[in-house]
Amino acid sequence: MGASVYFLGFLTTLLCAVLLARGYARSRMKLLLWSALCFFGLTVSNALVVLDLVIFPTSVDLHLLRLATAAVSMVLLLFGLLWESE
């Protein structure tokens, strides 16, 4: 059950990232670009969750890498929000 939830979270963030990137390609609004970059980073983070907790549950610990990619993704979105607010 947990594996399916992790995988669905991965697919959801990937779909959001693709839709945001498509929206940016059509409208060229910078905030959509920053949001797409954030969601691509969150997709990588969710892929690391699947790898860490489902594929390699005991042999590899990717906890810090998962948190770091999620943090960098959020910083990208925060930077984009601050950059576009000017």
Among residues 62, 58, 40, 39, the alpha carbon closest in space to that of 49 is found at 62
- 32-54: per-residue pLDDT in tens? 999 999 999 999 999 999 999 99
Q: Which amino acid is at 81?
A: L
What mean pLDDT comes out for the span 60-76? 96
Cβ–Cβ under 8 Å, residues 42 and 13: yes
d(CA 85, CA 17): 22
Q: Report angle CA 19, 20, 24 to the nearest 5 degrees.
A: 115
**H or E, element range at 65:** helix 63-84
Q: What's this model's pTM, rounded to 2 decimal places?
A: 0.92
pLDDT at 86 over 70: no
